Structure formats: structure tokens, C-alpha cells
Amino acid sequence: MKHLLGMRFLEREEIEAILDQAEAFKEILERPIKKVPTLRGKSVANLFFEPSTRTKLSFEMAAKRLSADTVGISKTTSSVVKGEDLIDTVKNIKAMKTDCFVIRHASSGAPHMIARHLDCPVINAGDGTNEHPTQALLDCLTIKERFGDFKGLNVVVVGDILHSRVARSDLMALTKLGATCSVSGPATMLPPYVEEVLGAKRIYDIKEAVREADCIICLRIQRERLGDLPLFPSVREYASFFGIFPEVLEYAPPESVIMHPGPINRGVELDPGLADSDRSLILDQVTNGVAVRMAVLVMLLAQNN
Amino acid sequence: MLDILFKNCTIIDPFNRVETKADLLIEGGRITGLERDITPRDGIKTINLQGRWVVPGLVDIHTHLREPGEEYKETILTGLKSAVAGGFTTVCAMPNTRPPNDSASVTRFIIGRARECNLGRVLPVATITKAQKGTELTEFGDLLSAGAVAFSDDGLPVKNSRIMRLALEYALNFDALIISHSEDLELARHGVMNEGRMSTTLGLMGIPNAAEDIQVYRDVRLAETTGARLHIAHVSTKEAVEIIRSAKRRGVRVTCETAPHYFSLTEEAVEGYNTLAKMNPPLRTEEDREAIIEGLRDGTIDCIATDHAPHSTLEKECEFEKAANGIIGLETAVPLGLRLVKKGVLSPMQLVELMTVGPCKVIGLEKGGVRPGELADLTVIDPECAFHVTPQNLCSKSHNSPFLGETLEGRAVITLFEGRCVFDLHGMVS
Ligand SMILES: [Zn+2]
């Protein structure tokens, strides 16, 4: 593994290795002094060309726990906003002797392009409507912790699959690990060939979709992603036909769990009470995010030594 | 003026329906002999063209020369150099320049610049609507008098169906040709590649076939309603081929073209967010590619046009979504066409027809072909010559080709225009 550009490029064994490594790091996170010297002297550049708070924080935290130095830019401070060429920007930062790049960008494929131009590891922290591999890894870790195994596990992803990089990475990772996946949501937000390409069955009726689901991954309904034309009639209608509420959960197996990549629109895609209930794994996801990102950083940078 | 004797040529001339092995004598730039065995007169330069084709100078009815306005991408001079290196002696210049060719003065400027370059024939296409805004028709009569050969808002469709109808109707007064860039902009909106397996694989927004098909059908129906002449540019979908096939059967005055990339590549070429495979209409699926080839075979598609669209690295070495649409095509059209001949899909005569008689009929251009008395306007094609597609080997000012780095087989090696040698790859003539 030279870069982490997407789950698409990872073999099952590689995913499992990252999850194992992350589990080992979780133990460190439980210690009173949550820091190891593994990446001392390494510098990680967090380049967030698109606004993000959680993922950026999580990556910074992960790097610091490993004693790496971090520098970062976020959308407001970035010169890319002023129209500077993306490749120029990263080459300049690379020239300051950076060991690893973490890239969040609004264009699908931007980290891939950067990786082609740099001879150091690039981690995709979310590119356009393409992938968000570390989110998929933390979701997989969370599921693994709860269920132990992916074999025979049913996962349904609900929401805007078409524009969701989380959904795409989750589906690719989970199917590789052996889970059975399906997608549900407004048909205007389900991509073409989703079954063939992402291995997920389309189920139009949400009650039907949760019927056998061990795990329900709710996606944030991002109004800003919809552009000029809403893809569903109203938030109210979304909530009543595609939101995960106790009435819907009645159709799901009693031991099924709920996940969400955050931030939640409470009352839209997810019931406010359910988000905080014991069926929710949402805070486990956040904790696992740091562990998984530590694992990825170590695996990419240790190889590079 | 040129005096030369080409021995042992394979003459392929669809204008005169001739396919034969012969010697070709050119004196004072004019074809003076076409016979089985011509004895060279004293002092005349003689070249053995064994294994090579001599065909009428190729015609491309869809070229973006970028001048005026975007000379950093291409100029009329570099575009013509690229054309003749690809075997084309005639190109139709698309009007989406800056300013667009929507007035007789721009048309005259293009013709004047081309004349100064003196390498090949440039036939300007003017816009259908003023500034390509889709609201008011341009002065068709005036533009035709200045030398325009057709009208197109290429790059953009004429969105308003009533304006398209008016254009077709008004064209009747001049028997003018309307060229349609058929795209439903609303359906295509946000799309950056074909909608299908690859767009889902790459997480890019797609443009469905329907965006093209719907507009092709609209324009075909309007041509039928008005009785005007319509030409559909860059057909890329299997459904569009079928719509045009059935319209032709009904007697609608519709013609169409496809570009070499639509019969050579599919959406798979976008893998790796390859901006050199980004174009509009987008590369489609294998099923579409096969339907395009069938359309070329059965005559539904009248001609091969390059849609030569030069862009600098500024527009291509960037994020896929930001990258400009289009690829250069003049220099790779012949080798890509030859692939179809080598696969046995097209006969040599069919291929040459699609690049000469076909486009001439569409725009109503009279050419004589390879026959005694004509001023030499010929292309020599070596079907075996290896062509490494590298920036150094391309004559266009831009190098945005998805075939960059590949070695193609076959290409134009000599191009004669108005009795002069304008391209001579191996320095055989001069
Ligand atoms: Zn066009």
C-alpha cells in the first residue's frame, strides 16, 4: 500500500490488516498518556480544500498521538480559493519536506491526481462524490467490534447514495469483507448500476430495507449537495418516508444497530432519541476514527522508512 | 508547382468510384496521367508508393481552430499544419471562437488568415444565433455571402425549440445547412462523463445517453416539419444512430457525423480520472461503440469528423470536474479509421468515402477526386507506418490526445494541396 486513495484499490487482506492495527491502537487511546513515539520526526500535511471540522480534527489527533508534526490548511486559509493551481500548491508544500499528505477536496479524483505528482503517501480524506476511505475503515472497525465478523451480516445504507462518498466507500469495503449490502432512499439519489458496481441491492421501501438489517447506516441529508434542484420534495417528506424513526425500526431485527457518519440532522434522517440510544454506535464511530487514522498513518509512513 | 511521378500507387477514389493500382503523374501541380505503367520522362522526380494509398485530400467538417481569441490553444496556421499532417486539405472551422463567428467580418477574417497560411482550405461555419445565446438568428444571407458554409452553435445546443425551428425554416431561403450539437443541457447538467458503470465506479456525475437522444429526436422532427437540411454533429449513442436511421428511411433531409474517438474508445478510458478522455458528448459504452460502427457500415452515419478540440495543459492538467471537454483529432483520425479497415469492418473504399465524399455531400462541396485535369489535392496514406503519438510528433499547438504515448498504425505521409506539397513526413517529395 503506497497511498490510501480509496477502498476500491484495497484487497480484503489489506483492509483486515488496517483494522487489526487500529484495534491495537485503540488500546493506546485507553491509556492515561495517549501518545507513542512511532512517527516522531515525521510531518503530515492536512490539506482540507473543502470545509471539514470532524475529519480534520480526527486526523490531527491521530498524527499527534503518534508524535508526528502536523501542518494544515483549511478552505478559508487556502490559496486555492484564489485560484492557485492545485498541483502547484501541493508541490510547494512537498518542497517543505512533508512526509505525508491528507487531502480533502471537492473534486472526485483530486487526491489521485496529487498522488501521481508526488512521491510520498497521499491519504484521501474525502474527494467529491467519490470516496472517503478512512470513514469506511472506522465504520468497518465499529461493526467488527459489535458483531465480530462480517460474514452473513446485512448492512443497509440509507440516504443520498449518489452523492455520498461515505456510502460508496462503505459499500466497497463491506462487500469485500463479506457483508451483504443494500441501499435505500429516494430513487433520485441511487446511482445507476449500484448493484453491479457497488454490490448493493436497491430496496425502495425503507421498511423492507431494514427488515433483515443488522446494521443501518444513515447518511446525512446534505441540502448543499443538491445544487439548484432538490432531489426530493421536502425535508418533511424525506423524514416521513426515508428517515430512521422508532416506527421504522419496528420492522428491523431487535438487535440491529444504527450508525451515522455525522453530523446528524436530528429529526430528518434520524430520530433524535435513537441517535443517543443504546442501539446507536455513533460515538464508537468517532473514537474508532482516531484509531483507524493512526493505523493508516503508521502503515503508510512506516513502509516509507 | 509540383512535377512528380508516383509509381505503383493504390488509388482509392470514391469521387470517381475508382480503386486500382496505377501510376500517377503530376505536372505543374495538375494530374496529367493516371495509368497502369507511366514511363518517367527525363528529370522528373519518381517515388515508388508501393503499398501506399493515394486518396483525394481528406475533408473534416468539424474542427475547432480556436482563432480568433484562443491562440494559445491553436491558431489557424497550427491548426492547418495539424490538418495536413493528418491528411486533411479541407477543414470546416467551428464558430465558437472569441468572438464567435456570428458576423461576416469574423468569417472574412478566418478566410483571409487561412489564405495567408496557404496550406489547406478553411470553410467557416457561422453560429446559428448571435453570440451563441440561443435567442436571435444571425444574418444567414450575409454570412453565406461572406463564405460561411453552414450554421452551428456547436459547443452549445440551441435550447429553445422554437428558435431551432426558426433557424431551420429561415435556412430554407438559402438551402443552408444547420448543424446541431444535440444535448439536453438540463439532463446533462453537472455531468462530466457518461452516466453508467464507470461514473458509478469513479464517483463522477454522469450524462445519460438520453441527453443526446432527446435533442437528436427534437431536431430530426423539426427538420421533418420544416423540410430543411439538418446535420447532427458528433453522434455518440446507439439510440441516436437509430433515430437518424429511421428518419432517413422516412426521407428526412438529415445527415450526421461521428468522431474517431466514439468508434475507438469507451467510457473505460476515463479510468484514473483521465482528463484526456473527457469530452462532450462523453465516451460511451461498448454497446454504443458497436452501434456507431454499424452506423458507419450501413451508411446511416455520413462521415467521420474529428471534432478536433485543442486545449492547453492549463485546461487539462487539473481536477477532472474542472477540466475542459475535448481532444485533438486531426492527426489521429486516419490511423483510428484504419483500425476499422484492418478489423475488416470497413473496406478501404468505405473509409475513404467517409472522409471525403461523405463530408463533401453534407456541406455541398464539389471536389474532382483523383482524375486527370484536376489540380492535385491528394493524400498519400501509408497504412503500415508506425505513428508514435508524442507531443514532439504532433503538429497541433496542443497535445490533448487520449492516444498520447501510444503507437498507432498507419497515417498520412504526404499531403498535396492546390498542386503543392504541404506535408511530407519522410521528405520524399522535396
Ligand atoms: Zn459539439
3-state secondary structure chain A: CCCECCHHHCCHHHHHHHHHHHHHHHHHHHCCCCCCCCCCCCEEEEEECCCCCHHHHHHHHHHHHCCCEEEEEECCCCHHHHCCCHHHHHHHHHHCCCCEEEEEECCCCHHHHHHHHCCCCEEEEEECCCECHHHHHHHHHHHHHHHCCCCCCEEEEECCCCCCHHHHHHHHHHHHHCCEEEEECCHHHCCCCHHHHHCEEECCCHHHHHCCCCEEEECCCCHHHHCCCCCCCCHHHHHHHHCECHHHHCCCCCCCEEECCCCCCECCCECHHHHCCCCECHHHHHHHHHHHHHHHHHHHHHHCC
Residues B71 and B45 in one domain: no
The CATH number of the domain holding residue B337 is 3.20.20.140
User: Which pLDDT tens digit goes with each residue over A136-152?
Assistant: 999 999 999 999 999 99
Q: State how far the Cα of B176 lies from the Cα of B10, in Å rounded to an integer.
A: 36
In this structure, the answer to whether residues B82 and B226 fall within a common structural domain is yes
* Chain B residues inside the 8 Å CB shell of A112: 272-273
Residue among B387, B384, B385 at smallest CA distance from B407 = B387
Residue ending a domain, among B363, B383, B405, is: B363
* Domains in chain B, number: 2
Dihedral angle over CA of A245, A248, A251, A256, nearest 10: -30
Hey, of B204, B319, B320, B322, which one would you mutate to test binding to chain A, going by the most A CBs within 10 A of its CB?
B319
Whole-angstrom Cα distance, residue A100 to residue A57?
Answer: 16
| Chain B (151-180) residues lying within 8 Å, Cβ to Cβ, of chain A | none
**3-state secondary structure at position B193:** strand
| Location of C-alpha cell 497511498 | A3
Using CA atoms, how far residue A14 sits from A9, A137, A259, A300, in Å, is 10, 11, 23, 12
Q: How far is the C-alpha of B195 from the C-alpha of B282, rounded, in Å?
A: 9
For residue B146, the 8-state DSSP code is H
Burial A210-234 (b: 16+ CB within 10 A, else e): beebbbbbbbbbeeeeeeeeebbee
Please report the ipTM that was assigned to this predicted complex: 0.93
* B318 interfacial to chain A (CB closer than 8 Å): yes
Residues 277-296 of chain B with CB under 8 A from chain A are: none
Give B75-127 as a DSSP string.
Answer: -HHHHHHHHHHTTEEEEEEPS-SSS-S-SHHHHHHHHHHHHHH-SSEEEEEEP
Residue B195 sits at the chain A interface (C-beta within 8 Å): yes
Q: Does pLDDT of A84 surpass 90?
A: no
How far apart CA A211 and CA A201 sit, in angstroms, is 14
β-strands B18-27, B121-126 pairing:
unpaired
Report pLDDT for A145: 96
Residues B210 and B285 in one domain: yes
Domain for residue B255, yes or no?
A: yes
Peptide bond connecting B68 to the previous residue in cis, omega within 30 degrees of 0: yes
pLDDT at A304 over 70: no
Rg (CA), chain B: 21
**Minimum-distance CB partner of B200 among A87, A105, A197:** A197
Residue B166 shares a structural domain with residue B262: yes
Show which of B319, B339, B363 is a domain's final residue.
B363
B190 neighbourhood in chain A, CB within 8 Å: 227
CATH value at residue B413: 2.30.40.10
Q: Kindly calculate the radius of gyration of chain A based on its CA atoms and give it in whole angstroms.
A: 19
Please state whether B175 falls in left (phi above 0), alpha (psi between -120 and 50) or beta. left
Q: Is B134 within the bounds of a domain?
A: yes
Share of chain A above pLDDT 70, in %: 94
pLDDT-derived band at A29 (thresholds 50, 70, 90) equals confident
Give the model's pLDDT for residue A82: 54
pLDDT band at A83 (very low <50, low <70, confident <90, very high): low
Residues 6+ apart with CB under 8 A from A163: A129, A189, A222, A225, A226
User: B378 lies in which domain range?
Assistant: 4-54+371-424
Confidence (pLDDT) at A73: 83
Domain boundary among B363, B395, B416: B363
Pinpoint the residues of chain A covered by CATH 3.40.50.1370.
7-131+286-303, 133-281
Residue A225 is predicted with a pLDDT of 53
In this structure, the answer to whether residues B139 and B272 fall within a common structural domain is yes
Among the partner-chain residues B197, B199, B321, the one whose CB lies closest to the CB of A107 is B321
> At a CB cut-off of 8 Å and minimum separation 6, what does B412 contact?
B58, B84, B85, B86, B87, B334, B379, B380, B381, B382, B423, B425
Burial class (CB in 10 A: 0-12, 13-18, 19+), A16: middle
For residue B66, the CA-to-ligand 1 centroid distance in Å is 14
B382 catalytically annotated: no
To probe the interface with A, which of B190, B202, B268 has the most A CB atoms within 10 Å?
A: B202
Whose cell is 421501501? That residue is: A205
Residues of B whose CB is below 8 A from A127: 203
The percent of residues in chain B predicted with pLDDT above 90, rounded, is: 98
| Claim to verify: residue B282 and residue B400 sit in the same structural domain | no
Residues B304 and B335 reside in one and the same domain? yes
> Do B184 and B314 lie in a common domain?
yes
A7-131+286-303 to CATH, choices 3.40.190.10, 3.30.559.10, 3.40.50.1370, 3.30.420.130: 3.40.50.1370
Phi, psi of B410 (to 5 degrees): 95, 145
Cβ within 8 Å, pair A112-B272: yes
Ligand 1 centre to CA of A260 (Å) is 43
**Residues with Cβ < 8 Å from B12, sequence gap 6 or more?**
B18, B19, B53, B54, B55, B348, B349, B352
Residue A86 sits at the chain B interface (C-beta within 8 Å) = yes
Does residue A227 surpass a pLDDT of 70? Answer: no
| Ligand 1 centroid from CA B157, angstroms | 8
| Residue A104 touches partner B, C-beta closer than 8 Å | no
User: Do B129 and B34 belong to one domain?
Assistant: no
Q: How many other C-beta atoms lie within 10 A of the C-beta of residue B179?
A: 31
Domain shared by B50 and B62, yes or no: no
Q: How many CB pairs under 8 A join A and B?
A: 62
Question: How many angstroms separate the alpha carbon of residue B309 from the centre of ligand 1?
Answer: 10
Q: How far apart are CA B50 and CA B70, in angstroms?
A: 42
- Per-residue confidence (pLDDT) for residue B86, from 0 to 100: 98
Mean pLDDT by 10 residues, chain B (430 residues): 95 97 97 94 93 98 98 98 98 98 98 98 98 97 98 96 98 98 95 97 98 98 98 98 98 98 98 98 98 98 98 94 97 98 98 98 96 96 98 98 98 98 94
B70 and B18 co-located in one domain: no
* Matching CATH number, A133-281, of 1.10.3720.10, 3.40.50.1370, 1.20.1370.10, 3.90.105.10: 3.40.50.1370
Please report the pLDDT score of residue B83 as a whole number: 98
Sheet holding A122-127, edge to edge: A69-74, A43-48, A100-105, A122-127
Helix (H, G, I), strand (E, B) or coil at B65: coil
B260 and B381 co-located in one domain: no
Domain membership of residue B192 (yes or no) is yes
C-alpha cell at B279: 469530452
Q: A177 is written with which cell numbers? A: 469483507
Higher pLDDT, A302 or A258: A258
How far, in Å, are A23, A283, A291, B347 from residue A58 at the CA level?
16, 13, 9, 63
To the nearest whole Å, the CA of A191 is away from the closest chain B CA by 6
Residue B429 falls within a domain, yes or no?
Answer: no
Say if B430 falls within a structural domain.
no
Q: How far is CA B342 from CA A142, B258, B357, in A?
A: 56, 19, 21
For residue A127, give the chain B residue with the closest CA: B203
Window 245-274 of A: residues touching B by CB (8 A cutoff) are none
Interface test with B, best of A193, A196, A202, A229 (most B CBs within 10 A): A193
